Amino acid sequence: MRIHYLTLITIFSIAFPACNAQSQNDEDRAVNEQKVIIYLGADNSYVNEMEDCGAKFKDKGIEKDPFQIFADYKCNLTRVRLWHTPAWYDTLNQGKRYSDFEDVKRTLHRSKEAGMMNLLNYHLSDTWSDPQKQRVPAAWLPIVDNLPILKDSLYNHIYGTLEALGKEQLIPEMVQIGNETNKGILLSPLDDSLNTLDWERNAQLFNIGIKAVRDFEKASGKKILIALHMAAPEEARELLQGYLEHGITDFDVIGISYYWAWHKPTTIPEAVAIIRNMRERNPDKQVIIFETGYPWTLEYNDQASNIINEPHPEYNPPTPEMQLKWLEDLTHASLANGATGVLYWEPAWVSTSCSTPWGKGSHQEHATFFDFENNVLKKGGMNWFGKDYSSSIRSYVHKPLITIDKENKYVDIKTESSENPEAYSFIIFGKNGAEAARGSLKDLEINESKISRYSLEKLDTGSYHLVIAGPDHWIGSLGFTKN
């Protein structure tokens, strides 16, 4: 895969794989830079099933492998969901299971062969996980209230699947622990019916899942980015604070779902303002829009009801051009505010004669990147991948509120003029979320610019994560290593 490099006046530089990007002069490179990829990708978990149901994908009338079509249009990442045991497929259509481990391997292989990277999405359920539903797999239901055994099962599930993928040279570049985990993960039917989030339980589950990935990294020598995924920008901002304050800190990417149809009235400018806020308050985390979608028509091509039916007033009526404009505008705005990618959900879930549990056909054919004959839309979303977003990337100037000196001797914490340092406490988490230190900003040295300085001399060598929080507002977090 060809990789082009861009650099921001920030703490990191950008790699733009297989996209139209230009390099910048070396003198523009910032100190302490690390290479970060801009991800423009697609969740294509349905492709194998659609082909088995008879779908033929075409570009300009010529039948082609769908993964190659996406790669040809400069898509650089495939997201694929993994269900634990989707036995409900046994009585659906031909009785073949999808999004189980064997199907996921097929997707990862096809994506890799086409030259794309992969994101493995652990749904941690036998079926859909989302903000309203986080049901534990049936195999784990007998142990759902036995936290030590449940943690062991989760660890073995994640480590075991990664180990098996490693044997077939299919290790993904990124994994996410859970899907749209606004209410937590691995819930019993009773707990799933409640709108509560048990932070103590979830902290242990998320951290053991993260540990499984880190342990596999160490054993395999392969770097894997770890993501947490939340739906709705407004909710994600609050949930992120909860994760960090409860010691869920050792992850690399904040994933967000943002659809106008479901997250209105949050506009694109409002959504990206939240992204900027997250980046400034958590300078060691990337932010990626993991899911978005926009219809190119409100017509149907089958008997199944469609799930994205409300267009944005400024992108109405839905047309292929409006679908493309939504994606271009969202991507430009997101990258200009510090995001490192945008992913589209199921752009190849076209109509077939097969059924879902809710209807015959697709619930997304009107929001794919293909027309009703399964040809790539001439002026639709498929063209979004290859656009030049370099000007938006370069316009982002990173201004973190928490910084660490080059020699890792102290951390500086900047509060806003309206914030009172005496109202804030800090927590330092060590390995696996264990608390290493705690205190108040008022006990630290504070200069005239309201910058508090925390000395790292009392900490042992190792990796840590600093979280700064207040009673009703927070400053942010930063991961660091004490040498």
Active-site residues, by number, are: 180, 291
Given a contact cutoff of 8 angstroms between Cβ atoms, the answer to whether 441 and 424 are in contact is yes
Give the closest residue to 41 by CA, choosing from 107, 130, 102, 127.
107
77 forms beta bridges with 41, 117
Q: Is the dihedral of CA 61, 62, 63, 69 positive or negative?
A: negative
The burial class, CB within 10 Å (0-12 / 13-18 / 19+), for 269 is exposed
For tokens 């709108």, what's the residue?
195
Task: Give dist(CA 80, CA 78) in Å, integer.
Answer: 6
DSSP state of 306: P
Q: Look at residues 373, 349, 370 and name the one whose alpha carbon lies nearest to residue 361.
A: 349
In sequence order, the 6+-apart residues with CB closer than 8 A to the CB of 238 are none
At residue 39's C-alpha, the angle toward residues 220 and 327, to 5°, is 155
Q: Quickly list DSSP for 349-381.
A: ----S-EETTEES-S-GGGSSB-TTSBBPTTSG
Go through 102-120 and write b for each residue having 16 or more CB atoms within 10 A of its CB, e for each that does not. ebbbebbbbbbebbbbbbb
Amino acid at 118: N
Q: Is the peptide bond before 265 cis (omega within 30 degrees of 0)?
A: yes
What does the longest C-alpha to C-alpha distance in the chain come to?
A: 70
Burial of 96 (0-12, 13-18, 19+ CB in 10 A): middle
* Residue keyed to tokens 């080059």: 406
d(CA 380, CA 300): 17
